[in-house]
Amino acid sequence: MTIALIPAAGTSSRMGRPKLALPLGDRTVLEMVVHAFRQAGVGKILVVVGPSVPELVPLAESAGAAVLRLGKQTSEMRATVEQGLDWLEDRYHPEGRDNWILAPADHPSLNPAVVAELLRTYAGNPQTSIVVPTFHGQRGHPALLSWEHAAQIKQFPANQGLNVYLRQHASATIEMPVEMPDILVDLDTPEDYQRLQARWMPPTLT
């Protein structure tokens, strides 16, 4: 079993407006991420939504994802992820080689081919419990983890983020090179949005 976990509880402070509801082509940013997972064949997708962005709930649901609505704002992404993991544990009871793919919701250039390659790499390397894509040596999104890491993350020191956790498990990690610079792209600022928007802008008739 593979589950996609998409934390979407941020306040978009640098963007100045709810960035996940911004349009890109005929979809919103959040819908693009969910759609990419569905194209890759991931059937179980959870979006964790914070109380400050209720408009994301219908977007996620219409795109085919389940939604966990948080009762209060989380202080960081790790806290959002942990609440999502608790929900997944209660709902699906993952175990063994079941895995989850962590994808930031502000990553609308997520490529289904990268997701599919993560799954193939994980399936072909039973000694591995984490797979992370890289472009020219830089780690990007999303990361795939076996379910055992869900419990370990909850026991990790409270002041440490998820990137630190992943770095400390290098021996269990495969870094998967891809020729797709999009794995490094986040959407944080109005300038980021303008660059992404240009990619989905319909061609101008001349």
The whole-model pTM stands at 0.89
Q: Is residue 12 part of a domain?
A: yes
Please, which pLDDT band fits residue 204 given cuts at 50, 70 and 90?
A: very low
Distance CA 179, CA 167 (A): 22
Domain span at residue 77 reads: 2-194
Average pLDDT over residues 116-140: 95
Please, which pLDDT band fits residue 186 given cuts at 50, 70 and 90?
A: confident
pLDDT of residue 144: 97
Q: Is residue 166 part of a domain?
A: yes
Per-chain mean pLDDT for the chain? 88
Q: Is residue 107 part of a domain?
A: yes
Please, which pLDDT band fits residue 189 given cuts at 50, 70 and 90?
A: confident
Q: Is residue 204 part of a domain?
A: no
Q: Is residue 205 part of a domain?
A: no
CATH code for the domain of 16: 3.90.550.10
